[in-house]
C-alpha cells in the first residue's frame, strides 16, 4: 500500500532530498516547512503545507490540526529544534494513526546541544575536540580555537581565532557559545541507521566541499577506526533511527586519537544521496524501521569512492504573488 509521509523541513537539503527519495520509493509526500518560501514546497507531486515554527507556541496545535486533517501514515522530521516538540506530540499523533520514529529524549538533548554532546562523548571515552564554556575559557587549549553556538546548525555563527582573548570577544558576539579546539584534518559525515534493537549501519563519506554548512561534494570511503568511533558515539548518545555523525580524521595525530567526533544530528544528513549512490538502501531501510519492519543491514552495504556533487539550481519560476 502506498504510504503517505509528512516530511518537515523541506527548505533545507536533508528535507528536500528526503522528499525526492521517498517519492522514488513510491510514497506520497506531504511537504511541510515553517517558511512559505521553502523550495521543497514546490517539488512536483507533493502536497505542500506551512506550519508554525517549532519555537512558536502555535506549533503543537498547527501540527496536530494538519495531521488530523491530512492523516499521513508517518511524520519524518529533518528539523532538529523540532524534535523535543515532536517527542511531546508522539502520543496524540499515535492516536491519530500517525507513526513516528524518535529517539529517547536524552539522546535528543545530547545531540541538540554541542556542549552536552562533548560532555557525553568525553564521559564515554569517545574522542572529541576539547570543549569549554565561556566561563571556563582559561581552561581552553592553546592554539587555534573555534567559537560556535551550542545549539547552532548549518555552520552558522562558527568563527575561528588564535587567542583566548579573541575567543572572549567572539563569545560575546555568539548566542550561547562554546569554545573548541580547532581540528586539522579531513572532515567526514557518517550516514547512520540504528534499528530498534540498537544495531547500526554506518556509511562514511568525506565532506570534500562544504558550502553553507552543506557537504556539496561527498565521497564514500572505508575506515574501521572512524566507523568504530561513530558506533561508539551512537551507543553513548542512545540515538535511534536516522542520524548523521560528523567528525575529522586528523592530518597529524601526533599521539592523539586519529579520529575525532564533532557532532551528531538526529535526522538524515544533507549529503545522504552519496550513500544511496554507493549502493546503500538508506531511505528504503529507514522506511522499514519506521513502520516496525526489520531493517536489513545487508542492504546498507556500500562501495567506497563514490562521489556525489550537489548544486543549487533553479527549481521553478512563477508569476503573481501566490506565496
Ligand X SMILES: Nc1ncnc2c1ncn2[C@@H]1O[C@H](COP(=O)(O)OP(=O)(O)O)[C@@H](O)[C@H]1O
Where does this chain bind Mg ion (CB under 5 A)?
A: 246
47 binds ligand X (CB under 6 A): no
Single out the residue of 165, 127, 161, 123 nearest to residue 144, CA to CA.
161
| Residue 128's binding partner out of Mg ion, ligand X, none, with CB under 5 to 8 Å set by partner kind | none
- CA 135 to chain CA centroid, Å, is 28
Q: Does an H or E element contain 11, and which?
A: none
Contact region for ligand X (CB under 6 A) — 43-51, 132-140, 150-158, 225-233? Answer: 150-158
Quickly count: other Cβ atoms within 10 Å of residue 203's Cβ.
28
Q: Which is nearer to Mg ion, 201 or 246 (CB)?
A: 246
13 binds ligand X (CB under 6 A): no
Single out the residue of 58, 24, 56, 60 nearest to residue 43, CA to CA.
24
State which of residues 70, 158, 176, 277 lies at the interface with ligand X (CB under 6 A).
Answer: 158
| Residue 187's binding partner out of ligand X, Mg ion, none, with CB under 5 to 8 Å set by partner kind | ligand X
Q: Which is nearer to ligand X, 157 or 284 (CB)?
A: 157
Q: Rule CB under 6 A: which of 194-213 touch ligand X?
A: 210, 213
Distance CA 78, CA 5 (A): 13
Q: Rule CB under 6 A: which of 113-132 touch ligand X?
A: 129
153 binds ligand X (CB under 6 A): yes
Fill in the per-residue mask, 249 to 268: x = in contact with ligand X (CB under 6 A), - = not in contact: -------------xx-----
Q: How far is the CB of 62 from ligand X (least distance, A)?
A: 26
Q: Which is nearer to ligand X, 89 or 188 (CB)?
A: 188
E strands within 129-279?
A: 131-132, 145-149, 159-161, 177-181, 185-194, 200-211, 214-221, 241-250, 259-265
Q: How far is the CB of 250 from Mg ion (least distance, A)?
A: 17
Let me know the angle formed at the C-alpha of 36 by 32 and 42, rounded to the nearest 5 degrees.
65
| Residue 111's binding partner out of ligand X, Mg ion, none, with CB under 5 to 8 Å set by partner kind | none
Q: Which is nearer to ligand X, 46 or 83 (CB)?
A: 83
Distance CA 274, CA 256 (A): 30
146 binds ligand X (CB under 6 A): yes
Distance CA 102, CA 104 (A): 7
Q: How far is the CB of 35 from Mg ion (least distance, A)?
A: 20
Contact region for ligand X (CB under 6 A) — 57-65, 182-190, 198-206, 275-283? Answer: 182-190
246 binds ligand X (CB under 6 A): yes
Q: Are the C-beta atoms of residues 204 and 223 closer than 8 Å to each other? A: yes
* Helices 13-24 & 282-290 angle (0-180, nearest 10): 80
Q: Which is nearer to ligand X, 127 or 152 (CB)?
A: 152
Q: How far apart are the first and last CA of the chain?
A: 33
Q: How far is the CB of 19 from ligand X (least distance, A)?
A: 21
Q: Which three cell numbers stand for residue 292?
A: 516496525
# binding residues, ligand X (CB under 6 A): 19
Residue labelled with grid coordinates 522528499: 19
- Dihedral Cα 249, 80, 300, 205, nearest 10 deg: -30
| Residues near ligand X, by CB under 6 A | 129, 146, 148, 152-156, 158, 180-183, 187, 210, 213, 246, 262-263
Amino acid at each position: 500500500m502506498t504510504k503517505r509521509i509528512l516530511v518537515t523541513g523541506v527548505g533545507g537539503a536533508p528535507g528536500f532530498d528526503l522528499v525526492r527519495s521517498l517519492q522514488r520509493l513510491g510514497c506520497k509526500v506531504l511537504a511541510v516547512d515553517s517558511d512559505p518560501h521553502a523550495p521543497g514546497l514546490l517539488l512536483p507531486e507533493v502536497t505542500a503545507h506551512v506550519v508554525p515554527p517549532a519555537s512558536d507556541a502555535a506549533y503543537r496545535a498547527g501540527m496536530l490540526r494538519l495531521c488530523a486533517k491530512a492523516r499521513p501514515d508517518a511524520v519524518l522530521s529533518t528539523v532538529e529544534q523540532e524534535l523535543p516538540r515532536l517527542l511531546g506530540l508522539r502520543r496524540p499523533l499515535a492516536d491519530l494513526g500517525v507513526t513516528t520514529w524518535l529517539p529517547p529524549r536524552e539522546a535528543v538533548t545530547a545531540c541538540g546541544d554541542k556542549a552536552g554532546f562533548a560532555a557525553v562523548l568525553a564521559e564515554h571515552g569517545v574522542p572529541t575536540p576539547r570543549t569549554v564554556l565561556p566561563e571556563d575559557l582559561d581552561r581552553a587549549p592553546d592554539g587555534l580555537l573555534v567559537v560556535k553556538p551550542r545549539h547552532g546548525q548549518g555552520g552558522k555563527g562558527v568563527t575561528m581565532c588564535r587567542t583566548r582573548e579573541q575567543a572572549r570577544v567572539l563569545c560575546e558576539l555568539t548566542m550561547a557559545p562554546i569554545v573548541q579546539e580547532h581540528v586539522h584534518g579531513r572532515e567526514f559525515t557518517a550516514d547512520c541507521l540504528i534499528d530498534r534493537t540498537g544495531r547500526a549501519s554506518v556509511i562514511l563519506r568525506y565532506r570534500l566541499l562544504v558550502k553553507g554548512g552543506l557537504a556539496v561534494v561527498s565521497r564514500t570511503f572505508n575506515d574501521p577506526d572512524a566507523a568504530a568511533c561513530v558506533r561508539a558515539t551512537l551507543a553513548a548518545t542512545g540515538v535511534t533511527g536516522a542520524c548523521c555523525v560528523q567528525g575529522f580524521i586528523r592530518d597529524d595525530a601526533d599521539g592523539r586519537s586519529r579520529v575525532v567526533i564533532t557532532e551528531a544530528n538526529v535526522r538524515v544528513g544533507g549529503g545522504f544521496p552519496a550513500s544511496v549512490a554507493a549502493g546503500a538502501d538508506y531511505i528504503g531501510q529507514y522506511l522499514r524501521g519506521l513502520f516496525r519492519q526489520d531493517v536489513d543491514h545487508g542492504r546498507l552495504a556500500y562501495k567506497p569512492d563514490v562521489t556525489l556533487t550537489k548544486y543549487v539550481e533553479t527549481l521553478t519560476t512563477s508569476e503573481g504573488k501566490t506565496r
